Structure 1
Amino acid sequence: MISVLVVDDDYRVAGLHARYASGVDGFEVVGTAHCAREAVELEQRLRPDLVLLDQYLPDRLGTSVLPELRADVIMLTAAADAAQIRQALGRGAVGYLIKPFDAQQLTARLRSYARFRAQLGGDRTLDQEQVDRALRALHGTDRAARARRKRSSPTAELVAEAVRRADQPVTASELAARLGLSRPTAQRYLADLSADGAVRVELRYGVAGRPEHLYRWNSQAT
């Protein structure tokens, strides 16, 4: 059983992520924390295998906490700018999932992580092919590519065309209202377009300090 500590400043979001993780076979949530101080204390006391860590905590950024954690870390955060992602990965995060996401997306990351742990289990010497195989399992490259192909549909084309024709960057909520889609559905298609390089993601900060994602068509996309 892989033990998990969930860290998010929003109590509701932390509970949601804990439910998502608990629903994955082989994973057990052993605690939740809502600030950096609590995260470090619980991680030292509970010794979880994995920490699901938010970036925007009330007392410190998640990336500043990373060096103090012994467990593996997957970042679950709205921080989507390249500098923060580089910093998180450079400080040891083994995964990075941008909010908002659904249970299926987190489940896929956790299952990939479980395969990664299984392939690196035990005290043994590995050859390069075994290391490469473990890294492929961690990132789930082939599975992610198949998932994107499954969403190639008239709806995907409709979302792409709406972003292309917009005279200014749009949010997932605005696009969903314009096209008569649910926000999570619009978000998934926008995430696919971003992964393929067709759209660029920008951040807009509101009065509460939480960033809002804006999507702009990449004029250099083919």
Structure 2
Amino acid sequence: MIRVLVVDDDYRVAELHARYVTATDGFQVVGTAGSAARALELDRELAPDLVLLDQYLPDRLGSELLPELGADVLMVTAAADAGQVRAALGGGAVGYLIKPFDAAALTDRLAGYARFRLQLGADRTLDQEQVDRALRALHGTDRGGRPRRPRETPTGERVAEAVRGAAGPVTASQLATVLGVSRPTAQRYLADLAADGTVRVELRYGAAGRPEHLYSWNGG
């Protein structure tokens, strides 16, 4: 059984991802954390095999934790700019999954990781073909077709129209109130719009140091 620690500053998102993991054969959630400090504490306490790690945590960036975690790390985040992806992968993350995504997308990554661990599980010397096979197992599911994007759904269209019609930059919480959806739902659709350049994202730092995302229409 592969033991997983889920780290996300939004407890509802953490619970959702934990349900996805629990529904995947061969995986067990051993804990959830909402901050970098708690993630490090549980990593030492629980010794998980894999950490699902968000980038934007209230006390530190997730990518900053990579050298301090004893487990493998799959980044699971709305952070989609190339610099942050490079930092995470260069810091040792075994994969990078951009929010929003559905259960199937995470299950595919977890299945690839399980095959990767199986290939490298024994304490033995490997030849090049065996290393290549393990890497193909880890990333082989990335070659599938494009799933339906969240913005192509009725709710996605409503979120896009709300941003387009706003008088200025808006937050996920503001949009959630206007549209009558949860903040994580609004955040997922906004992240999808930001990923394809339809909206711009700016960061505004509050008193606690946690960045607030402001979204404004960028056309498209």
2:165 maps to 1:169: no
RMSD: 3.9
- Residue 72 of structure 1 is matched in structure 2 by 72
Paired residues in the alignment total 210
- Residue 135 of structure 1 is matched in structure 2 by 139
* Cα shift readout 1:71-106 (whole Å, capped 9, x = no counterpart): 22123557666544432222012344567x6xx74x
SS of 2:152's equivalent in the other structure is: coil
* Cα shift readout 1:18-52 (whole Å, capped 9, x = no counterpart): 84333443211234566656655654564422012
Shift of 1:198: 1.2
Per the normalisation by structure 2, the TM-score is: 0.69
Distance 1:169 1:82, change over 3 A: farther
**1:78–1:211 contact (8 Å) kept in structure 2:** no
SS of 1:215's equivalent in the other structure is: strand
Shift of 1:115: 2.1
Shift of 1:68: 3.3
Which stretch of structure 1 is more off in the superposition, 206-215 or 37-46?
37-46
- Residue 89 of structure 2 is matched in structure 1 by 89
What does residue range 38-187 of structure 1 map to in structure 2 within 5 Å?
39-40=39-40, 42-43=42-43, 46-55=46-55, 56=57, 58=59, 61-76=61-76, 83-96=83-96, 105=102, 107-120=103-116, 121-123=118-120, 125-126=129-130, 131-132=135-136, 134-137=138-141, 140=142, 142=144, 145-148=146-149, 152-187=152-187
Shift of 1:157: 3.3
**C-alpha distance in 2 between matches for 1:132 and 1:188:** 29
**C-alpha distance in 2 between matches for 1:78 and 1:61:** 12
**C-alpha distance in 1 between matches for 2:158 and 2:83:** 31
Distance 1:40 1:212, change over 3 A: closer
**C-alpha distance in 2 between matches for 1:36 and 1:155:** 32
**C-alpha distance in 1 between matches for 2:23 and 2:213:** 28
Shift of 1:66: 0.9
Identity percentage of aligned residues: 56
Distance 1:49 1:93, change over 3 A: same
Which stretch of structure 1 is more off in the superposition, 166-175 or 31-40?
31-40
**1:116–1:135 contact (8 Å) kept in structure 2:** yes
**1:204–1:212 contact (8 Å) kept in structure 2:** yes
Distance 1:175 1:31, change over 3 A: closer
SS of 2:147's equivalent in the other structure is: helix
2:20 maps to 1:16: no
| Letter of the 1:49 counterpart | D
* Structure 1 alignment gaps of length 5 or more: none
What does residue range 179-198 of structure 1 map to in structure 2 within 5 Å?
179-198=179-198
**C-alpha distance in 1 between matches for 2:41 and 2:176:** 41
**C-alpha distance in 1 between matches for 2:132 and 2:107:** 22
* Structure 2 alignment gaps of length 5 or more: 121-125
**C-alpha distance in 2 between matches for 1:186 and 1:208:** 22
- Residue 2 of structure 1 is matched in structure 2 by 2
- Residue 123 of structure 2 is matched in structure 1 by none
